[in-house]
Amino acid sequence: MTALAPPTLECGLMFKVGSSNLNSVRSRLTHVTAWLEVREPDVLLLQELKGTEFPFETFRSLGYESVAVTQKAYNGVTILSRHPMKTIAKALVGDDTDSHARFLETIIKGIRIVNVYLPNGNPVGSHKFAYKCLDGSTGSANDSMEAGRCADANRRRLQRDS
């Protein structure tokens, strides 16, 4: 198997991306800000924000632009970036009824970045299970574009996968 080269910026430098499930942005804010100050990624994707309020100013003070899709008490995803970003979609493309707050697609430095939260705990055959079997490929950006897809994706397709 040939390893794929990591995405690079125009000048050939590495593009550093991190991803984490927070299980509440309010509860983990100090931890996340400390991590950002030490690791200094170009992009950070966070899942399971669990709240309608997002600390945009806190991240801006650290040099990060942010976009968040939030929901009261459940779900929620965000993308933080040291570079300007363009938001492409805050819900699954083509699904006007998607209110799960689990999908976010942006373009940063010409790279498509998709953050999706696909939690476990739903039975095979249910609409919730079908949702979590998505992999971010339902985005709207040009398919020939460099892409980074990050997800908290707990999947159990078969009973033996438990």
Interval 19-65: pLDDT, tens = 999 999 999 999 999 999 999 999 999 999 999 999 999 999 999 99
Q: Is residue 2 in some structural domain? A: no
Tell me if residue 16 falls in helix, strand or coil.
Answer: coil
Q: Is residue 90 in some structural domain? A: yes
Q: Is residue 6 in some structural domain? A: no
Question: What domain range includes position 83?
Answer: 17-154
pLDDT score at 1 = 41
Nearest 5 degrees, angle CA 79-CA 124-CA 105?
A: 15
Q: Is residue 97 in some structural domain? A: yes
Residues in Cβ contact with 46 at an 8 Å cutoff, skipping those fewer than 6 apart:
19, 20, 21, 22, 25, 32, 77, 78, 80, 115
Q: Tens digit of pLDDT for each residue in 110-131?
A: 889 989 887 766 667 776 666 6
Q: Could you give the number of structural domains in the chain?
A: 1
Of 49 and 102, which is predicted with more confidence?
Answer: 49
Q: Which of 41-45, 61-65, 75-79, 155-159 has the lowest mean pLDDT?
A: 155-159
Q: Is residue 46 in some structural domain? A: yes
Tokens in use for 79?
């993308």
